[in-house]
Chain A
């Protein structure tokens, strides 16, 4: 089945620092790739997505590029804010999983002023 390896956390940054959260996946076929964000005590919100190779998903200053050759979908942001503090989940869907999302272990991000 599909699997995901996410960068170990927690990650602690100062405001305006550069953020990278690595994500690699294994999946057969052509999965869609998603990053979800979970704020404390809440459910998951879609942050960004990419549905085919070389697509770049972007939202709220976050970006991730679908790299089929390296099976990666790393999340980046040039200047983080305190409000970005949350848990970030990488998740492929599709391939042989019939549309099921396979979640990484989540990366806790804390941004200090």
Chain B
């Protein structure tokens, strides 16, 4: 159980276009989802926290107008990178947290999406 999927796994786009990344919890309901960014050989940087049905909370320094997050249901959150530029190229990872039977605060991670902006 506790599987999180991401789609697409890899995406290449042209500079100036927008890209949407989906994060789904497949076998549990995710009250909270998190979006991270990981640079090569670096740790994960939390970008934002989203709770189902409410606005996302962004970490300091993350542009909310550039990284649009929608958490419309208990199993789906989306991250849209708007007007992407080469510096947005990165590995984006989502995670989901479930209440109930799982250890409180435990997050389950998706496999990641490699974004390359040309």
Seen from chain A, the residues whose Cβ lies within 8 Å of a Cβ on chain B are 31-32, 34, 36, 42-46, 49, 51, 89, 93-94, 99-101, 103-106, 108
Contacts and interface: CB of A to CB of B under 8 A. Distances in A.
Interface of B: 6, 32, 34, 41-44, 46, 49, 93, 95, 97, 103-112
B69 to A, nearest CB: 15
A25 B108 CA distance: 21
B43 A89 contact: yes
Contacts of A105: 42-43
Nearest to A6: B43
B65 to A, nearest CB: 22
A36 B103 contact: no
B109 A36 contact: yes
B44 A89 contact: yes
Given A99-B32, A106-B43, A51 B112 contact: no
Contacts of B46: 100-101
A10 to B, nearest CB: 9
Nearest to A97: B105
A54 B97 CA distance: 24
A1 B34 CA distance: 18
Given A99-B105, A106-B42, 5 more contacts: A32-B106, A46-B109, A49-B106, A99-B97, A101-B105
